[in-house]
Amino acid sequence: MKKDAAILVVGGAGYIGSHTVRQLVAAGRKVVVLDNLVYGHADALVDDAVIFIEGDLGDRAVLDRVFTDHAISAVMHFAAYAYVGESVTDPAKYYGNNLAAPIVLLDAMRDHGVEVFIFSSTCATYGNPQYVPIDEQHPQNPINPYGASKLMLERVLADYSHAYGLKYAALRYFNAAGCSLDGLIGEDHNPETHLIPLVLEAAAGVREHITVFGTDYPTPDGSCIRDYIHVNDLARAHILAIDRLRGGADSFKCNLGTGIGHSVKELISAAERVTGKSIKVVLGERREGDPPELVAAPALAKELLGWEAEYKDLEMILKTAWAWISGPHKGHF
Ligand code: UDP
């Protein structure tokens, strides 16, 4: 590794990428961000030390310039499209951006001698769970093009690792949640489809109500159960993963979750407690493609990375999200 080598964070202006960039900078790492700003926000890059390049991860000319101009020792890749419904209606967009484009990135890495790659994979690669909590041995049968595109890239990584010596970590996130503790950056999707921002925007009066998608699931209160993992916990795991691979460990794949499930209804009640507001709830139909329960078995991440979630309390997670949504930066008030 070159002495002052930087970590290239692709998609560093997005939700999870920008939180990871802040942690990298706080840990004294040099960071170069590549982001096309389609879904990312330039103002999510709050540290002056970060070198920002606007460009696309599938653009080989841009990549050659990045790898030539900067001493890059490792790449973190966050720049995926993640709207499950859209992936069903426009799969070309998902296979193009989530599969074909990162292959261009991997080829550029290989040609420039960069070997370490951290990939944002997802529990959506498992498909409908056959059992919970879901461990890494669970069969991977994604039920939509989004999950399929992520699984296919996992397979590409395994083959590149075998053939070209790539060292990679595929980190399978459960439900990313929460925001930075100072409320400076946070979750800002457009359109927003995720439960926590929608619930909190209903609490803030920005939305009229929250709809519970399905109340007849085989769960204790009939609503879906998810494993909400704080974005700062996710970010920390990425840094540990880079350090593990640089230390000579083999490539690996592991879940990142708390191991604790919360139902949609529980989450809405917790949001009312955290915000002190009452939230109007509409009981709605199931959303297509939602498994009843997704909860991680997180033991492997602990074994490999010494990592476990610090934010195990849902109210704590919601407090950080509320700090962002009700604070001056998001601009709702
Ligand atoms: N959900 C809901 N109402 C909404 C948005 C989401 O009831 O307006 C539910 C959704 O069915 C799922 C959970 O909240 O069970 C989390 O959904 P989200 O879209 O945040 O993440 P996903 O689990 O799809 O990755």
pLDDT at 183: 84
Residue 59 C-beta-side C-alpha neighbours within 13 Å: 12
Residue of 71, 11, 7, 18 lying closest to 47 (CA atoms): 18
- Which residues partner with 8 through β-bridges? 32, 75
Cα(195) to ligand 1 centroid in Å equals: 5
pLDDT for 302 equals 98
Q: Does the model's pTM come out above 0.85?
A: yes
Residue nearest to atom 18 of ligand 1 (CA): 194
* Per-residue b or e along 134-165, where b marks 16 or more CB atoms closer than 10 Å to that residue's CB: bebebebebbbbbbbbbbbbbebbeebbeeee
The domain spans of the chain are: 6-177+228-256
Q: Is 266 in the pocket of ligand 1 (CB under 6 A)?
A: no
Rounded Cα distance, 295 and 129, in Å? 9
Q: What per-residue confidence (pLDDT) applies to 289?
A: 84
Q: Is 124 in the pocket of ligand 1 (CB under 6 A)?
A: no
- Write down the pLDDT at residue 330: 67
Q: What residues in the chain have per-residue pLDDT under 50?
A: 1-3, 332-333
Task: Check pocket membership of 194 for ligand 1, CB cut-off 6 A.
Answer: yes
What is the chain's percent helix, strand, coil content, to nearest 5? 40, 20, 40
Q: Which of 126, 264, 283 to mutate to test the pocket of ligand 1 (most atoms within 8 A of CB)?
A: 264
Q: Which residues contact 301 (CB under 8 A, 6 or more apart)?
A: 237, 254, 255, 256, 307, 308
Judge contact between 26 and 244, C-beta under 8 A: no
Question: Does the C-beta of 253 come closer than 6 Å to ligand 1?
Answer: no
CA distance 330 to 246: 37
Class of 6-177+228-256 in CATH: alpha beta
Q: What is the CA(26)–ligand 1 centre distance, in A?
A: 32
End-to-end C-alpha distance for the chain, whole angstroms: 47
143 lines ligand 1 (CB under 6 A): no
Distance from the Cα of residue 9 to its chain's centroid: 13
To test the pocket of ligand 1, the residue of 144, 150, 195 to mutate (highest count of ligand atoms within 8 Å of its CB) is 195
Residue 210 CA: nearest ligand 1 atom is 8
Instruction: Check residue 327 and give its pLDDT.
Output: 78
Please identify, by atom number, the ligand 1 atom nearest to the C-alpha of residue 193.
Answer: 19
Q: Whose CA is nearest to atom 6 of ligand 1?
A: 195
Report the catalytic residues. Answer: 146
**Whole-number pLDDT of residue 332:** 46
Rounded to the nearest angstrom, the distance between the alpha carbon of 263 and the centre of ligand 1 is 10
Q: What is the pLDDT of residue 1?
A: 47
Nearest atom (ligand 1) to Cα of 196: 20
Whether ligand 1 lies within 6 angstroms of the CB of 264 is answered as: yes
**Spacing of C-alpha 144 from chain mean position:** 17
